[in-house]
Amino acid sequence: MSTGEVLNKIQNLTKDLLYYWEARGYIHPRKYQRGRVDKRDYSDKDFQVIATMFKYYEKGFPPKRCYQKTIEELHR
């Protein structure tokens, strides 16, 4: 799933926030180049993590806590 597809499916999620979570190591999209442009391909697992983290992020949790709560929720 491309970055655009992820952003279209999760309303109010920004590219900056998505890339921040990637930089922090919370998600791990596959990266590839198309021409001179770097692209990302998010797996279904990445999307689940992103969607769940964003749910907690919208409730006001800081990113690290969002990730912790997401892992707890997805591994029940």
Task: Identify the band that residue 26 occupies on the pLDDT scale cut at 50, 70 and 90.
Answer: very high
Domain edges within the chain: 3-74
Q: Percentage of the chain with pLDDT > 70?
A: 100
pTM for the predicted model, two decimal places: 0.92
Q: What is the pLDDT of residues 48-72, one digit of tens each?
A: 999 999 999 999 999 999 999 999 9
Question: Is there a contact between 63 and 57 (Cβ–Cβ < 8 Å)?
Answer: yes
- What single string gives the DSSP state of each residue in 17-58? HHHHHHHTTS---EEEEETTEEEEE--HHHHHHHHHHHHHHH
CATH entry, 3-74, from 3.40.80.10, 1.10.3720.10, 1.10.1660.10, 3.60.20.10: 1.10.1660.10
- Reading the block at residue 30, the tokens are 């596959």
pLDDT at position 76 over 90: no
- Identify the burial level of 60 via C-beta atoms within 10 angstroms of its C-beta, where 0-12 means exposed, 13-18 middle and 19 or more buried: exposed
